[in-house]
Amino acid sequence: MPYITNTVGSILLAGSLAACSREAGPNPAPVAAPTPSQQLVDATVLDANIMPEAARTPVPDPMATSTPTPEELLYSDLERKFFSALNQDRTADGLSPLKLDPTLSQLAEVRSLQLLNAGRISHFDNNGNLVLRLILSQNSISFATAGENLAQNNFSLDDTVKVANIGLMNSPAHRANILNPNYDKVGVGVRGPNNNGEIVYAQLFLQTP
């Protein structure tokens, strides 16, 4: 059955990680609904000065070339639409469009796939660690502020991106990430659908130091 919109808030990492905050309460459980809908999660802010040291997690070479599979072409199309919708919202608000960063996009793709396989979306891992913090530290990514938006829905391929973007823009915390004037680059990742028709979306925002 399709489910009602469920928000998990967004993550904004500002300045130093000491300023990390979680805006939303427990993730609402999916609720049966007569029409498809979507899930979102909270927002957070990271502070760049208190990043813990961690081993670097290698990122696939963005220059490596191979023949894309039909599945990869689908992801590419959904990600292109998702990125375009984000920048349309920014320009409509008088802001500069964000640059699509290939490294952040690869990390966002990994992130969305992990969440799809986990069967739930959250900004925190099973040990209570803020995943965005881990992603940035493990990949030695410097930032002044950083943020993460997550969404999931089971709408058709024709509607899923529009639903995800509208849901994010209708949530104050997610909208604040999308329309943050300090960000200058973003990575987007989309994975799915799974056997339940669910598609997971991830946006990783960054303000370079």
Q: pLDDT band at 12, cuts 50/70/90?
A: low
7 or 160, greater pLDDT: 160
Greatest CA span in the chain, whole angstroms?
Answer: 48
Angle of helix 131-138 relative to helix 102-118, nearest 10 degrees, comes to: 140
- Give the model confidence (pLDDT) of 19-48 as tens digits: 333 333 333 333 333 356 566 555 555 545
| Helical ranges in 99-187 per DSSP H | 102-118, 131-138, 160-169, 172-178
Are 10 and 173 in contact by the 8 Å Cβ rule? The answer is yes
C-alpha 99/C-alpha 84 separation (Å) is 11
User: Taking residues 148-154, what's their average pLDDT?
Assistant: 95
Cis peptide leading into 97, omega within 30 of 0?
no
C-alpha 181/C-alpha 202 separation (Å) is 19
User: Does the pLDDT at position 118 exceed 60?
Assistant: yes
C-alpha 39/C-alpha 5 separation (Å) is 5
- Give the model confidence (pLDDT) of 51-89 as tens digits: 443 333 444 444 444 666 777 778 899 999 999 999 999
Structure tokens at 2: 């399709």
C-alpha 147/C-alpha 182 separation (Å) is 11
Q: What is the pLDDT of residue 181?
A: 97
CA dihedral of residues 157, 7, 188, 47 (deg, nearest 10): 180
User: Taking residues 143-154, what's their average pLDDT?
Assistant: 94
| 45 Cβ contact partners less than 8 Å away, ≥ 6 residues apart | 11, 12, 13, 14, 15, 19, 20, 21, 145, 147
Residue 81: which of 184, 175, 158, 153 has the closest Cα? 158
Tell me the pairing of strands 9-14 and 38-43: parallel
